[in-house]
Every structure is written in C-alpha cells, then in structure tokens.
Chain A
Amino acid sequence: MTDVTPYVVLSAILFSIGCVGVLTRRNAIVVFMCVELMLNACNLALVAFAKQHGNLDGQIAAFFVMVVAAAEVVVGLAIIMTIFRTRRSASVDDASLLKY
C-alpha cells in the first residue's frame, strides 16, 4: 500500500488554485486554463485513489475526464475565438448581455 496523501494534497492545492483562478481572472483564456487545471487536479486525485484501492476504476474515469476535457477545449476555444472576433475582447465580464 502506497501512501497517497501527498498526491491528494497536491491535487487539492491544484484544484484550489484553479478554482481561485476561475473566480478572479477576467481573461477568458486564463479562466479556461484554470478550468483545465481543476480538471487535471481531479484526474490526479482519481489516479491516486485508484492506486490506493488497487483497481482501475479511477484510472478509467481519468481517461474519460481527459476525453471530455479535450472536447471541451475544442468547443470552448471556438466560442472564445468567436467572441473575440465580434467584441475585440476576451474578457468574460464584457460578455454579460444575457442578464435581467
């Protein structure tokens, strides 16, 4: 049995960094990267727990997350590109038309 505590702690730190990044940064690209960071933090946690339990469920889940993340990047970057083309800005706060 390997002690997975350091991996989990690292995962938590990475998730928190990503989380704070999403909440505080305005640049859509950076927000996007922070989302990726959170996803990867989750992957790390999944792999670590899979190692601890000695089965492959967590690792398979990690693959799923990667696939979804890749797809998300494709769609997300395309949206950001389009917004940038029309508004000349990549700030998430500028894209606030859909409101009350």
Chain B
Amino acid sequence: MYSLSEAAHQVPVIEPSAADGTFSLLWLVIGLPLLGAVVLLLGGRATDRWGHWLGTLMSLASFAVSLLLFVELLGRDEGDRSITQHLYDWIAVGDLQVGMDLLYDPLSALFLLLITGVGSLIHVYSIGYMEHDPRRRRFFAYLNLFVAAMLMLVLAENYLGLFLGWEGVGLASYLLIGFWQHKHSAAAAAKKAFVINRVGDIGMALAIALLFTTFGTTSFTAISQVSGAAEEDTLTAVGLLLLLAACGKSAQVPLQAWLLDAMEGPTPVSALIHAATMVTAGVYLVVRSNFIFELAPTAQTVVVIVATVTLLWGAVIGCAKDDIKKALAGSTMSQIGYMMLGAGLGVAGYAFAIFHLITHGFFKANMFLGAGSVMHGMNDDVDMRRYGALRHAMPITFLTFAMGYLAIIGFPGFSGFWSKDKIIETALAENWVVGVLALLGAGITGFYMTRLMLMTFFTTKRWKDDVHPHESPGVMTVPLVVLAALSVLGGVLLLGDWIVDWLAPVVGEAPHHEPPLPIIVITLLTVAVVAVGVAAAWFLVGKREVPLTPPQDVSFATRAARADLYGDGINDLLVGRPGTATVRGLVTGDRTLVDGVFTGGSSGIKAVGDLLRRLQNGFVRSYALSVLGGVLLVVLALLAVNLA
C-alpha cells in the first residue's frame, strides 16, 4: 500500500485538448451506425431489399473514420493524444452539469478499431449467414445499434455517457440474443441476460451516484485530476461497485450465468458479443477507471480474485460442453477472466489486458464465425458429437479455425501466445498463487480447445444421415480469412513494447518488476503446460471413439461442468428461492394483515349496521315510542339544566 502522494504521482492525469481538424469527425464514428439503425428500424419493410447493405456500409464507414482518426492520432506527440469533443449540454440542472462529451485517446482509439473493424467483418459475414432469414433487415438494424452503443460506451468522456452506451449495449444484446424469439429458449435466454445485466447495472448506477456526491462530477478528466484527494474508503466502494457492474457485463463470477445461455442468439451475434462488444465493456471500465482502482488496492485485490475464479470457472465449463458454441462461450468467460486479471494487476497489467482483449477479439470472432460456418454446413446442428472429420468438407473454415485455435491455446508465435503469456508473467511477478492458477488455466484452455478441434474437424464422421457438409459462400469465408490473419499476426502490437508505450499516457508507466523466474523460463513453462493440456485432449478424445451420446457414468467433476458448475443452481438457491419466499411472504402478509385490517374494518361496520337496522322495524307505534322517549329525555335534560 502506498501513500496518497506517491499514488497520485502514479495515476496519469487526463488533460485533453479540444477536437479540431480531422478530429471533429469523431461524432461520426457513433453517428453512422446509429443512423443505420434508425433508418432500418423506422424504414420498415421498404428497406428490406437493401437493409443489410446499408448496415454493413455504415459499419464500414465508421471503421474508415476510426482508421483515419487513428492515423491522425499516431502523428501527434505522446503527451497530446487525448482529444475531447463537446457535442451539446446533456443535463444542466443546478450543480449537476453533464455534457455530451466524447473522449478520444489511445485507449478508446484501439477500442474503436476493434469494434468497428471486427464488427464490420461480422456484418459482412452476416449477409451470408442470415441470407434466408425473413427478418434480416431487422437483424442488421440491431447489429448497427449494438455497434453504436458500444462505441458510445468507449467514447464517452464521463461515466454518465458511458452508462448510456452501457445500457444501449444491454438493450441491443437483449434484442439480438432473443432474435429468434419464437423459440422459447431464446426468449428466456434474452430475459436472463437482461436481468443479470440489470444486477450489474445497479453497481454502475450506485458508483455514478457515489462519484457525483464525492467529486461533484462524473467526467473522467475531472475525476482523474482530483481522485487522489478522496478518501480511500470511498474509492474502494466506488471500485467495488464498478467491479459489480463489470461482472454483469463481462460475465464474471458471480454474474456469469447469462453468457452460456446467450448462445441462443444467431452465431454472428455471439461473435459480436464475445469479440468486439459487450463482454469487453467490463474490462474497458476497469482499465478506464484506473485512477480509481490505483488508489483502492482492496478493490484491485477483489478484481484479481474474481478474475482468477472466473478464468478457471469458464475453462472447466468449456471442457465438458458438447455444444460447440457453449464450449466457446466457456472459453470466452475464461479469456475475459485473463483480461480482468491483467486489469486487476494495476499499472503493470492494464496494457496487457487491453492487448489480450484485442487479440482475443480477433481469434474469438474468428472461431465463432468459424463455428457458425460449421453449423451452416451441418443444418444448424451444434452438437460436436455429430461432427467429426470436417476438415475435408470445409477446408477454408478448418484452416481459419485452426489459426484461431493455435492463437487461443498460445502456440508460440501466434497472437494469443504473446498476450496470454504477458498476463501470466505479470501475474507471477505480482502474486505467485494467482500466477500459477493462471498458468493452470492456460493448460485447461489447451485441453478444451483441442477437444473442440478434434471433435469437430478430426476423428471419424459421426454426421446425421441427411447432413451434407459444404463450404460456406465467399461472403462468409472472406471475413474468416481476414480474422485468421489477424489472429496469427495480432502479436505485432507488442513489437518493441508498442502497445505498452501507446497506452502509457492513459494507464501510466509500470514500475519495473522482476518476475520470480526468468521470462524465458516462464514462457517455456506456459508452453509446456499447454502442451500437457493438448496431449491430454489427444489421448482422451482424439485416440478414442467419440460416443454419439454423452456418457452418463462420469465423474462428479464432469457432471458439475456439464451443469455450468451449478451456476444456475447457485443463483436459484441464493437469489431465486429466497426471492420467491420473500414475495410469497409479502403476498401472505398483504392478504392477511393489510387486507385483514381493511376487510375486517368494513365487515365490522357492516355487522354494526346489521344490528342497528333492526331498529327500522316498520311499526309506526314503535317509532312513536322512540319519539316519546326522545321527547322525555330532552324535557328531563332541560329540567335538569334549569334546576341545577
């Protein structure tokens, strides 16, 4: 733990300059896909014929603008690479002043390229993938909305703007996961994703409120300048709330359950959620909030713990899934765990977290689209037990998928090798327990990815009778080839520590830490652990006959992994059932207590009324007697008063 002055020194302050020249185009990056979404959604069926072209064009145009801005940013001095653009005053009420401001700096520049680049490839791919879907135009509208929301998220200059994008991403993911809403499972999965994300959003909303009360602003620029003056407890609270938010969006334990169900959406959506948008938002949030996490070591420790648990959790789930998309989803969860781990390690790890995020964006988009291509050829079957030997039937898909595979397991030279290795290295330097667990995770990654690869492309044919696998059309394979190339070459970002230097103005320079072992030893160790995982998969899956139905006489661990490590059960036990019980109790209380008071009161009055109405007996003489009695009473009273 360091003193405040020392820490404040470490946290880089954002000092942006106003956007001018080319940079005034910044708003177009968000505006173009948003325009696409609006036109396609409002245009209705009139846009059916060319809707997918417009959507793709908008995404590509956004990518072009991002690229232009990036080149422009490269030409600037290192200290002058933060640019803000003020669009308009968003909220202006008394002390509460929030502008619709955009912040373009090295961090968001990389995100822009990833989101619009990979996003555009997914758009192109979807033209082929969704060709026979009658609602293709709507699909592209949602894709554009998704991309626009994610761009808003990474370009916002304050937490409130980020929150706008954050919620937009949540909405778009809901619409896309439940795109085939006629399927009950898809509708349920969309709802599940939405609800679990709301839990995380509570953290986000509370964190923003806390920042407002503490600093009186939510602007990144302003907070980065004054965060050193705040109390550590406050910053820890903000950090933990932000982590909760990140857990929801990035599917970290304990809010991980939605990610596997989210596979109900069309495959390009899975690629978009897992590679370019959505799940990376949590990592972005933590890295962007470095000026808070750097000053709240407790929160950072919790981030590391959550990340380590998640990276093993996801990896274990990935080992037991027969559904190709769910196996990949488990893998995403695990890889996001690596990124979070990097982000939780502080200054030393931020750059590597973003590096892994980018390489993962390449190879995971590649593999998801590859999986989609396989499904396309296999009549939308996702069961890997009915695949096998597809390498001959789909050579391009196989080769591109193999590039992604080699990248994710960290085969030396491929992009994943560089990025994952760096995170493991940093983790070992900071804390050897976490480092060893991350190393173990790399081994498990080797196992489940090899298993997936073998079951899909190697071993024997186990196809269903009416399935005739064929290679996908060019519009689908070209994005695969591009992504495969990126998966292989993504490591160039690390050449000469480029990405570390590039991000230094945003996340700070790491003080040099000597890892406990020489770096070359760590690298060899990682490769060895991965090799063990791959070999295990080869002996357990590749050398044996793959049964057509999952064997039932399996160990407890396998059963647990097949059931997502009982994530749903835990949620049900901790939240679902107590919630149901509470609601039931409240209903009972309402029926007995509240209703009792009101219905009891009214029936009491009715009972009294029933008694009193007996007086109205219809006999004139009894009324006369009442009158006489009354008169006597009055007279007696008067007499009593007069005599007294």
| A92-B621, A93-B621 known; A99 vs B628 contact (CB < 8 Å) | no
Instruction: Tell me, rounded to whole Å, the shortest Cβ–Cβ distance linking B482 to chain A.
Output: 90
A92 to B618, CA, bound (A): 10
- Cβ contact of B618, chosen from A19, A26, A97, cutoff 8 A: A97
Q: Can you list 17 pairs linking A and B with CB atoms under 8 Å apart? A: A19-B628, A23-B621, A23-B625, A23-B628, A24-B621, A26-B621, A92-B621, A93-B620, A95-B618, A96-B619, A96-B620, A97-B618, A99-B616, A100-B613, A100-B616, A100-B617, A100-B618
Instruction: Tell me, rounded to whole Å, the shortest Cβ–Cβ distance linking A20 to chain B.
Output: 10
B614 within 8 A of A: yes
Which chain A residues border B621 with CB–CB below 8 Å? 22-24, 26, 31, 92-93
Instruction: Tell me, rounded to whole Å, the shortest Cβ–Cβ distance linking B628 to chain A.
Output: 7
A31 to B107, CA, bound (A): 106
Contact A96 B628 (CB under 8 A): no
Query: Residue of B at shortest CB range from A25?
Result: B621
Per-residue 0/1 for B611-644: is the Cβ within 8 Å of any A Cβ (1 yes, 0 no)? 0011011111100110010000000000000000
Which chain A residues border B628 with CB–CB below 8 Å? 19, 23
Question: Is chain B's binding surface mostly helix, strand, loop or mixed?
Answer: helix
A22 to B628, CA, bound (A): 11
A71 within 8 A of B: no
Considering the complex, which residues of chain A in the window 49-100 have a beta carbon less than 8 Å from any beta carbon of chain B? 92-93, 95-100
For chain A, which range describes its interface: under 10, 10 to 19, 20 to 34, or 35 or more residues?
10 to 19
**Chain A contacts to B: CB under 8 angstroms:** 19, 22-24, 26, 31, 92-93, 95-100
Q: Name 8 extra pairs, CB < 8 A, besides A31-B621, A96-B618, A100-B616.
A: A19-B628, A26-B621, A93-B620, A95-B618, A96-B619, A99-B617, A99-B618, A100-B617
Instruction: Tell me, rounded to whole Å, the shortest Cβ–Cβ distance linking B372 to chain A.
Output: 79
Which chain A residues border B616 with CB–CB below 8 Å? 99-100
Considering the complex, which residues of chain B in the window 205-237 have a beta carbon less than 8 Å from any beta carbon of chain A? none
Instruction: Tell me, rounded to whole Å, the shortest Cβ–Cβ distance linking A98 to chain B.
Output: 6
Instruction: Tell me, rounded to whole Å, the shortest Cβ–Cβ distance linking B609 to chain A.
Output: 10
Which chain B residues border A24 with CB–CB below 8 Å? 621
A24 to B613, CA, bound (A): 23
Contact B624 A23 (CB under 8 A): yes
Per-residue 0/1 for B19-31: is the Cβ within 8 Å of any A Cβ (1 yes, 0 no)? 0000000000000
Instruction: Tell me, rounded to whole Å, the shortest Cβ–Cβ distance linking B608 to chain A.
Output: 14
Which chain B residues border A31 with CB–CB below 8 Å? 620-621
Contact B620 A92 (CB under 8 A): yes
A95 to B621, CA, bound (A): 11
- Cβ contact of B624, chosen from A22, A26, A98, cutoff 8 A: A22
Q: Give 7 closest A-B pairs by Cβ, nearest first.
A: A99-B618, A96-B618, A100-B613, A100-B616, A92-B620, A99-B616, A22-B624
- Cβ contact of A93, chosen from B613, B614, B619, cutoff 8 A: B619
Which of A92, A93, A96, A100 is packed against the most chain B CB atoms within 10 Å?
A: A100
A31 to B621, CA, bound (A): 9
Query: Residue of B at shortest CB range from A93?
Result: B619
Which chain B residues border A95 with CB–CB below 8 Å? 618, 620
Which chain A residues border B625 with CB–CB below 8 Å? 23
A24 to B628, CA, bound (A): 13
Per-residue 0/1 for B593-622: is the Cβ within 8 Å of any A Cβ (1 yes, 0 no)? 000000000000000000001101111110
Which chain B residues border A99 with CB–CB below 8 Å? 616-618
Which chain A residues border B617 with CB–CB below 8 Å? 96, 99-100
Instruction: Tell me, rounded to whole Å, the shortest Cβ–Cβ distance linking B620 to chain A.
Output: 5
Instruction: Tell me, rounded to whole Å, the shortest Cβ–Cβ distance linking B408 to chain A.
Output: 86
A67 to B614, CA, bound (A): 37
A98 to B616, CA, bound (A): 8
A24 to B624, CA, bound (A): 10
A98 to B621, CA, bound (A): 13
